[in-house]
Structure 1
Amino acid sequence: MSIAAETGALAQLVQVLFSHWKNAGIEFVVLRNYEELPYHTSNDIDILVSPRQRRAAESLLRESAHSCGWILYNRVEFSPVSMFFWHPFTSEHAQFDLFHWLKWRGFTILPAQAILDNRVDRGLFCVPTPAHEAVLNLLTRFIYHGRVKESYKAAITNVFRAQPTEVQGLLADVAGKRLARELLRLVSLEQWDKLEQHGGQLRRAVIMRQFLRRPHFTAVSLAMEAARLLRRIFRPPGVSVLLFGPDGVGKSAVIARLQELHALLFRRSALYHFCPMLLRKKNTGIVTEPHQLPPRSMLVSWLKVLYYFADHWLGYLLQLWPAKFQSACIIFDRHFDDLLIDPRRYRIQRSAWLVRVLRRLLPPRDRVYVLDAPPEVVRQRKTELSVEELARQRAALRQLAAGDPHFVVVDATAPIEAVARTIARDVIESLAARQQRRDRKRGNG
């Protein structure tokens, strides 16, 4: 996936940023996919900056983006520090990955300063030497996932064949001379399947060599890696989005479009219907007659509400929180509050008081959207519920949303594309507000 700076907004940001960095004496290189910069790039821009200048580089990135009209909506401490920006007038997205070390799980892949010291000037920015770039593109995905990115294979092969001595020396520093020779041979022969069988051997070599050669530095590096992960646990980059509305209001179509619009914002998305359903088999069938069966007894209804409450908490701890940690967008089609809106759907009765108590004890929700439309309009789309029942649910949803800052009522009579874009824009704006709160706590606001 790529981002083309059709409006010039991204090109302007890249030019302003790189000029500011150069004027400030920031040492940096664009690691890959730089051939058409600043006018065209992949979905993220990978940049290595000097470790001692990382904070200054990030500060100038924030200032440059602000001056060009971009809004920072997420800052994530992956292996690089990833900065996600959005332009409110062009709706463009930009991601800058700031590396100050080149590491895998805290273990050094290539020395950052060596790449910076040997950088090649291209005018607006610098790039690595061909040998550094080829080795980095080989090792980065290989050491993490056991495979090499397909689009990089041809360029890696060309450099390995043209500069075998330089390449072997770089690989030997990481993995030892014997494995370096074997990796060089397999790449030069384009035997990628055999190469990828050495993933485990490469990881073991990296770990053993660094513990034996630099034990103190490695221990400190691993402690820093643990601290980074701990910070992300308490500041997860993902988001949870809940959608409410009766059948026929357009939730499924809006959700499908939202997942497409959020593809650039998050690493992945996850969709749930009402609850995670960890305690029973998920039912993916379409509900055509939600009020067909009679309610259960009062006692069974209360037990059912408690069961749903437990399922929401277990799902949050075992699925949703880990997904948010990994920068996922979690979308719910209905949620626990639907027990208040449409109890007959869940065959419960005389349980509203219990639902009201338990909903306050649920894990936090980031954003809740009520798709709102007149009952007559919804009835024309789906005829399962009467106009009177749809009017009752509409009133209940509006009452639930009133005064709650997490709820947003969206006009669902608009076209699906307009509804989805309204929600997507609000999600970005809420993420930007969350990022501002986090920055103030870190002392960056």
Structure 2
Amino acid sequence: MTCDSREFFRLFFRELEQRSIPYVILHSYQELPDNISSDIDYAVPTSDLPKLRGIQSELARKNGWALAQTLQHGVFAFYAVLVNLENPHESLKLDACSNYARARRFLVSEEILLGNRLPYRGFYIPAPAAEFIYVLAKVFDAKNKSPAKYLPRLKELWEQDPDNAQRYFTQVFGETGRSLKEWFNHPPDDWRPLGKVMLSRNSFGPRLKLQESVRVVKRVFQPTGICLAVLGSDGSGKSTLLANLEQLLQPCFRHQQTFHFRPAVFQKKKQGVITDPHGKPPRGLLTSWLKVFYYFADHWAGWFLKVIPGKIRSTLIIFDRSFDDLLVDQKRYRLRGTSGLVAVLRHLLPKADRVFVLSAPARVIHQRKPELPLEELEKQQSTLQQLAANESRYALVSAEQTPEQVANAVCREVLLCLAAREERRS
């Protein structure tokens, strides 16, 4: 029996306390943990940031969750996504920092954020002046937010500790010619120039610039995206699975991209919807071989130009069919006499992280989509099962289940794959 997101929230922050790791939940905590509607921004000391991945991974493993993603998006910032394995629709996004830095600017120190923290409903929050300067700096952190939305809360925090709020304000923005009391008498649009002031005076020094460069290089060698492929006969439910997967895995990745069979680097025009993929006769032997080499080259070019950059940018990449489909459904690609060539070339291509093979008895698929002869479907299913049996990265999934069951089963496998990657990196 797994716990829900509210209980996992309590378990995690209780664990930090037990390990003597001071923390504060930085803002929007009034309804936590009963209503978790967005990321949870919190701060811990810099020395404790590297410990978070291990703590989250251990807690997830013990409670039926998976630590699906840890993304270092700043020198002092780590974003983690945890997902309930029994109910993949339920996730928890924890965004940790120590010092608050954005756009290569050092804005608020951990001493300010964690100093004089206050207990609140079973967890800790910042002192009013600390929350004030954090929220104000976040308004101007290069995302073009409107000050009007935040000024009522900022004024409320300032009124609780005006002296420290003014002191922190001066540290971040310098002498602006107005006190905070005067600023609050001005309309929201008058606050906007403070953003340029803040960004111009808090740039990283050489040491932090070097750390930022190291972080970027590390992202290249430890990408946070993943490449998946889905194989199956027409009628096995690939399209439905892809739509469900994109929804279930959306919290884990910054971007999503789907390729239909190949990256199409060398294809200038998009093809329309193919309504009769087996309607045309096969090509000649020479043309078929040339076509296979063309697909092979396109996969390699796409790997370097699209897949690798996408994985670095934390993209969920899914191939709806892959190069292996040339073995499964030669008629679709109008090939003749290419099975041996494809069998050799497929081993020379870079591999997807996981490949899911949708399999069902040919008669079941034929009932769903009778366009293909039963004999052809039986042949395809045999080839698919052989592929799944001979490759460790391949997983056979029963397409006889309901679409929701198929999606949950595949999603669970992806989450376990991501969790294993996090374990290796922790």
Name which structure has the greater RCO, CA cutoff 8 Å, separation 6+. 2
Question: Which residue in the other structure is 1:299 paired with?
Answer: 286
For residues 176-191 of structure 1, the aligned pairs below 5 Å read 176-178=174-176, 185=183, 189-191=187-189
Contact 1:10–1:39 under 8 Å retained in 2: no
Q: 1:324 aligns with which of 311, 314, 329?
A: 311
Question: Which residue in the other structure is 2:385 paired with?
Answer: 398
1:289 is displaced (CA, Å) by 1.0
1:308 is displaced (CA, Å) by 1.8
Cα deviation per residue 1:247-273 (whole Å; 9 max; x = unaligned)? 222211121111111122323321111
Contact 1:26–1:57 under 8 Å retained in 2: no
Could you tell me the percent identity over the aligned residues?
33
Sort the Cα spacing of 1:181 and 1:375 in 2 relative to 1 into closer, same or farther, 3 A. farther
**CA distance in 1: counterparts of 2:327 and 2:185, whole angstroms:** 61
Question: Which residue in the other structure is 1:94 paired with?
Answer: 92
Cα deviation per residue 1:255-314 (whole Å; 9 max; x = unaligned)? 111111112232332111111212213535321111222333333333322222222222
Question: Which residue in the other structure is 2:216 paired with?
Answer: 229
**CA distance in 1: counterparts of 2:70 and 2:334, whole angstroms:** 43
Moved more, 12-21 or 156-165: 156-165
Structure 1 position 16 matched with structure 2 position 11: yes
Cα deviation per residue 1:57-108 (whole Å; 9 max; x = unaligned)? 5554444444544433333222322333333345542232221231124431
Cα deviation per residue 1:331-381 (whole Å; 9 max; x = unaligned)? 111111111212222223233333223222222211111111222222232
Q: 3-state SS of the aligned residue for 2:316?
A: strand
Question: Which residue in the other structure is 1:214 paired with?
Answer: none
TM-score (norm 2): 0.86
**CA distance in 2: counterparts of 1:157 and 1:239, whole angstroms:** 44
**CA distance in 1: counterparts of 2:151 and 2:332, whole angstroms:** 54
Moved more, 55-64 or 367-376: 55-64
Aligned AA for 1:29? V
Structure 1 position 289 matched with structure 2 position 276: yes
Structure 1 position 220 matched with structure 2 position 207: yes
Question: Which residue in the other structure is 2:106 paired with?
Answer: 108
Sort the Cα spacing of 1:169 and 1:354 in 2 relative to 1 into closer, same or farther, 3 A. farther
Cα deviation per residue 1:140-197 (whole Å; 9 max; x = unaligned)? 3642433359975653465579878765654443344349989x95995233xx8668
Moved more, 231-240 or 195-204: 195-204
Structure 1 position 83 matched with structure 2 position 80: yes
**CA distance in 1: counterparts of 2:157 and 2:271, whole angstroms:** 51
**CA distance in 2: counterparts of 1:405 and 1:150, whole angstroms:** 55
Question: Which residue in the other structure is 2:296 paired with?
Answer: 309
Aligned AA for 2:72? E
Structure 1 position 206 matched with structure 2 position 198: no
Aligned AA for 1:251? K
**CA distance in 1: counterparts of 2:31 and 2:394, whole angstroms:** 43
Question: Which residue in the other structure is 2:233 paired with?
Answer: 246
Question: Which residue in the other structure is 2:124 paired with?
Answer: 126
**CA distance in 2: counterparts of 1:324 and 1:274, whole angstroms:** 18
Cα deviation per residue 1:397-418 (whole Å; 9 max; x = unaligned)? 1122222111111111221111
Moved more, 233-242 or 196-205: 196-205
Structure 1 position 352 matched with structure 2 position 339: yes
Aligned AA for 1:206? N
Question: Which residue in the other structure is 2:256 paired with?
Answer: 269
Question: Which residue in the other structure is 1:139 paired with?
Answer: 137
TM-score (norm 1): 0.83
Question: Which residue in the other structure is 1:258 paired with?
Answer: 245
**CA distance in 2: counterparts of 1:398 and 1:295, whole angstroms:** 25
Structure 1 position 342 matched with structure 2 position 339: no
Contact 1:104–1:143 under 8 Å retained in 2: yes
Contact 2:67–2:422 under 8 Å retained in 1: yes
Aligned AA for 1:220? R
| Residues matched between the structures, number | 422
Aligned AA for 2:83? W
Richer in helix (by share): 1
Question: Which residue in the other structure is 1:31 paired with?
Answer: 26
Q: CA RMSD in A?
A: 3.2
Sort the Cα spacing of 1:56 and 1:332 in 2 relative to 1 into closer, same or farther, 3 A. closer
Question: Which residue in the other structure is 1:363 paired with?
Answer: 350
Q: 3-state SS of the aligned residue for 1:224?
A: helix
Which structure 1 residue ranges, 5 or more long, are not aligned? 1-6, 211-217, 440-445
**CA distance in 1: counterparts of 2:241 and 2:360, whole angstroms:** 14
Contact 1:18–1:124 under 8 Å retained in 2: no
Question: Which residue in the other structure is 1:3 paired with?
Answer: none
Sort the Cα spacing of 1:168 and 1:352 in 2 relative to 1 into closer, same or farther, 3 A. farther
Question: Which residue in the other structure is 2:48 paired with?
Answer: 53
Contact 2:147–2:188 under 8 Å retained in 1: no
Question: Which residue in the other structure is 1:71 paired with?
Answer: 66
Contact 2:155–2:184 under 8 Å retained in 1: no
Sort the Cα spacing of 1:60 and 1:367 in 2 relative to 1 into closer, same or farther, 3 A. closer
**CA distance in 2: counterparts of 1:89 and 1:308, whole angstroms:** 39
**CA distance in 1: counterparts of 2:107 and 2:394, whole angstroms:** 46
